């Protein structure tokens, strides 16, 4: 299809899609995708793919690299020494003196690779030989919404497609009965809202499908009270007959044909989706491994287990959110609690994928929207110190999907305030994610607003040091 013709009729289909997260809207967007000549169930990647699917673990709020995976002995030496900034930096910060603060946690060398990891990661330290830690990334914003948009869409100002939307646009779906891009948000949406997983200017079928954290994950998933499956089948058959009569006299009305097909897909999803979302069929040992049933790990444990079940059934891209990492105060209490809530579930996810032979072609990506500073204003009389936002240094990690295992790439300065080795902007991280999935950022484009657009905005470089 000529890309200059793509947007002529798509807005009408976008209107049909609406904005709901109901079963009908999910089904319709999938049918619209299948109705497009360019949107096949499974598309040929640009390169031989090392990863077939991706699970993106998004720690919203900005985890501190200094208190998780990047220990700094120098901070212990300088603890409570006054920290001086340049005039420009100082004017951008709140008034008052600032001081270096050491990490309240201890670190250890874990695994055969000897990776640095905070002692709060009791379970993840057992999986470090499967992980590639990257300390060289730099963001561009210290504002939560714009930084979230940046890591999730490549654009700090929102409105662009999410990473998962680009991936499904490039690769299609490997299960025509399920959405290609699924989001598992926290109880409240992250800063910036649903725009973090939007289809942006891509067709509506590539939008992430959020599963509701409470109640039915997808609205209208279950049959109405008093209706049997046979009755629903009869209703659909009658509706299809009437719609076909209507369509016969109106050739070229592809929207109606897509709507008709969406009813059939929704019918199939009602059979397949509940089985995927129902984790009660998992063994007790599996549920225990993910921490399901334990008050502190149950919520994120369910997300991690569901992520495994979804990719196992053919969902291309799953994003799971854990929030509240914005620890300006009481970092020992705040980060300690947060780590304990995700540690066991994430370690279980990596172990489970590996046991099933899926880790080698499933890319697991862990990060926040930015890092944290080595200093703080010591609010609360100096007893409640935390860390502020920092775009110059952030640690992220990757596992499976063709990345180097058991390695640490890049470095920050002696106090962890700025990346100084193997330094790359977030657009290069995005380009590398696409490359691992077999996609070329320069070829994965969509014509919009007068130019061909891409995830990296204007191109970027693959971080070859991360790739095995």
Q: Which of 15-29, 264-278, 424-438 has the highest mean pLDDT?
A: 424-438
**DSSP letter, residue 224:** P
Q: What mean pLDDT do residues 292-304 have?
A: 96
pLDDT digits (tens, 9 = 90+) for 323-353: 999 999 999 999 999 999 999 999 999 999 9
Q: Provide the residue ranges of all domains of the chain, joining segments of one domain with +.
A: 3-466
Residue 13 has pLDDT above 70, yes or no: no
Structure tokens at 123: 């379970």
Residue 461: the pLDDT is 98
Residue 175: the pLDDT is 86
Q: Residue 196's closest CA among 187, 186, 214, 183?
A: 183
- Residue 458 burial (10 A CB sphere; 0-12, 13-18, 19+): exposed
In this structure, of 136-140, 239-243, 290-294, 371-375, the range with the lowest mean pLDDT score is 239-243
| Higher pLDDT pick, 253 / 461 | 461
Q: Residue 458's closest CA among 426, 433, 423?
A: 426
**Residue 367 confidence class, pLDDT cut points 50, 70, 90:** very high
Q: What mean pLDDT do residues 206-222 have?
A: 74
- CA–CA separation, 300 vs 289, rounded Å? 12
Residue 18: the pLDDT is 40
| Higher pLDDT pick, 256 / 18 | 256
**Residue 30 confidence class, pLDDT cut points 50, 70, 90:** low
Residue 59 has pLDDT above 90, yes or no: yes
Residue 3 has pLDDT above 90, yes or no: no
Q: Residue 72's closest CA among 130, 26, 118?
A: 118
**Residue 223 confidence class, pLDDT cut points 50, 70, 90:** confident
Q: What mean pLDDT do residues 13-21 have?
A: 42
Measured from the Cβ of residue 92, the count of other Cβ atoms closer than 10 Å reads 10
**Residue 8 confidence class, pLDDT cut points 50, 70, 90:** very low
In this prediction, what percent of the chain has a pLDDT beyond 90?
Answer: 63
User: Which string of DSSP letters, residue by residue, matches 251-313?
Assistant: TT-HHHHHHHHHHHHHHHHHHHHHHHH-GGGS-HHHHHHTTTTSTTTHHHHHHHHHHHHHHHT
Q: How far is C-alpha 44 from the geometric centre of its chain's CA atoms?
A: 23
- CA–CA separation, 134 vs 412, rounded Å? 10
Structure tokens at 115: 């990776």
Residue 354 has pLDDT above 50, yes or no: yes
**Residue 101 confidence class, pLDDT cut points 50, 70, 90:** very high
* Cβ atoms of residues 348 and 127 within 8 Å: no
Q: How far is CA 379 from CA 83, 196, 384, in A?
A: 15, 32, 6
CATH no., domain 3-466: 3.40.720
Q: What mean pLDDT do residues 205-218 have?
A: 76
Residue 460: the pLDDT is 97
Crossing angle for the helix pair 298-312 and 254-277, nearest 10 degrees?
120
pLDDT digits (tens, 9 = 90+) for 435-458: 999 999 999 999 999 999 999 999
Residue 130 has pLDDT above 70, yes or no: yes
Residue 366 has pLDDT above 60, yes or no: yes
In this structure, of 5-9, 158-162, 444-448, the range with the lowest mean pLDDT score is 5-9
- Residue 171 burial (10 A CB sphere; 0-12, 13-18, 19+): buried
| Higher pLDDT pick, 14 / 178 | 178
Residue 221 has pLDDT above 80, yes or no: no
């Amino acid at each position: 299809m000529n890309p200059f013709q793509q947007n002529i009729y798509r807005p009408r289909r976008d209107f049909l899609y609406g904005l709901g997260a109901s079963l009908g809207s999910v089904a319709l967007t999938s049918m619209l995708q299948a109705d497009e000549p360019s949107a096949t169930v499974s598309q040929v990647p640009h390169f031989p793919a090392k990863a077939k699917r991706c699970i993106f673990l998004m720690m919203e709020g900005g985890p501190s690299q200094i208190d998780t995976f990047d220990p700094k002995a120098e901070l212990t030496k300088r603890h409570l020494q006054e920290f001086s900034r340049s005039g420009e930096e100082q004017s951008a910060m709140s008034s008052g003196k600032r001081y270096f603060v050491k990490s309240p946690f201890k670190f250890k060398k874990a695994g055969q690779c000897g990776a640095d990891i905070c002692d709060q990661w009791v379970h993840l330290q057992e999986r470090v030989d499967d992980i590639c830690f990257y300390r060289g990334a730099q963001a561009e914003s210290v504002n939560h919404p714009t930084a979230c948009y940046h890591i999730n869409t490549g654009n700090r100002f929102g409105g662009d497609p999410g990473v998962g939307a680009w991936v499904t646009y490039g690769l299609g779906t490997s299960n025509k009965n399920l959405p290609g891009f699924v989001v598992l948000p926290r109880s409240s949406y992250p800063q910036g809202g649903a725009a973090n997983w939007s289809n942006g200017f891509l067709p509506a079928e590539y939008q992430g499908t959020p599963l509701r954290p409470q109640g039915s994950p997808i609205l209208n998933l279950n049959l109405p009270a008093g209706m049997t499956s046979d009755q629903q089948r009869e209703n659909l058959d009658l509706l299809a007959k009437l719609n076909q009569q209507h369509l016969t006299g109106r050739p070229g009305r592809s929207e109606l044909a897509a709507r008709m097909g969406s009813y059939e897909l929704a019918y199939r999803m009602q059979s397949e989706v509940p089985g995927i979302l129902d984790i009660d069929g998992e063994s007790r040992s599996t549920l225990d491994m993910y921490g399901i049933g334990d008050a502190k790990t149950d919520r994120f444990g369910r997300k991690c287990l569901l992520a495994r079940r979804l990719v196992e059934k053919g969902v291309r891209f799953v994003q799971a959110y854990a929030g509240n990492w914005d620890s300006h105060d009481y970092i020992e209490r705040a980060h300690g609690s947060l780590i304990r809530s995700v540690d066991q579930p994430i370690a279980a996810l990596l172990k489970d994928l590996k046991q099933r032979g899926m880790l080698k072609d499933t890319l697991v990506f862990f990060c926040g929207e930015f890092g944290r500073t080595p200093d703080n204003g010591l609010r609360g009389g100096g007893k409640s110190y935390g860390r502020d936002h920092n775009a110059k240094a952030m640690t992220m990690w990757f596992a499976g999907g063709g990345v180097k295992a058991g390695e640490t790439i890049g470095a920050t300065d002696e106090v962890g305030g700025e990346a100084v080795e193997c330094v790359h902007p977030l657009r290069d991280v995005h380009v590398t994610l696409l490359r691992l999935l077999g996609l070329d950022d320069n070829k994965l484009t969509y014509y919009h607003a007068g130019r061909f657009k891409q995830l990296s905005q204007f191109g970027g470089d693959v971080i070859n040091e991360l790739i095995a």
